[in-house]
Chains A and B, each alone.
Chain A
Amino acid sequence: RKEVEQDPGPFNVPEGATVAFNCTYSNSASQSFFWYRQDCRKEPKLLMSVYSSGNEDGRFTAQLNRASQYISLLIRDSKLSDSATYLCVVTGGSSNTGKLIFGQGTTLQVKP
């Protein structure tokens, strides 16, 4: 079983749509959770951290359910520029090693 599992997609949505991505992780000891965005042939860039209380940054909302080991990302009012691969990332093992475990990524294609 992969440590971080995501539906690879692709998700093809029209501009303005709301789209949700889900992710599950296997290591209950993971302490920190993130969503990264990766454009084609580029490095990943941090989109947002994810907290149990949920957090919102503009059109993006992230949620964490520790009991279910489940993370979600909601994008409202999709823009063409949102087209990218979204990576679910968790820290591996004990809290301070800094190891990041990446999911395979979910590809989003926003169409006009």
Chain B
Amino acid sequence: GAVVSQHPSRVICKSGTSVKIECRSLDFQATTMFWYRQFPKQSLMLMATSNEGSKATYEQGVEKDKFLINHASLTLSTLTVTSAHPEDSSFYICSARLLGAGSVNEQFFGPGTRLTVL
């Protein structure tokens, strides 16, 4: 299957700092990437849809000024958590959408980034 990478895999930072997470599709071009967040023992929650060359679409309740998304190329999307606070500590996962034949559009997930804000 298609490969999606994320960097860094783990980050620990102080409260108030900003953290950038990169999501790359390694062997295919992704016009659409998605950013999810997963708190312990909870489901993955979609934060935003990132479209190459245009503004991201944020889900209800997700602050666009706090979670900055940039999708500057067909293989790279970045999520920046600005002024991170302990409640932002979570597992952040990206996915890239592979457009297949017919109506099956599969998403491939990155390995995730575990953010801990002290």
Name A's B-contacting residues (CB within 8 A).
4, 31-32, 41-46, 49, 87, 92, 95-105
Give A11 to B101 CA distance when docked, in angstroms: 36
Residues of B within 8 A of A97 (CB): 49
Which 6 pairs from chain A and chain B are nearest by CB? A43-B109, A102-B44, A102-B43, A104-B43, A98-B97, A43-B112
SS class of chain B's interface: helix, strand, loop or mixed?
A: strand
Give A44 to B3 CA distance when docked, in angstroms: 13
Give A103 to B110 CA distance when docked, in angstroms: 19
Give A32 to B100 CA distance when docked, in angstroms: 14
Contact of B43 among A41, A46, A87, A92 (CB under 8 A): A87
The reply to whether B114 and A41 contact each other, CB–CB distance below 8 Å, is yes
Give A67 to B105 CA distance when docked, in angstroms: 23
Contact of B109 among A31, A32, A44, A103 (CB under 8 A): A44
Among B44, B97, B107, residue most surrounded by chain A Cβ atoms (within 10 Å): B44
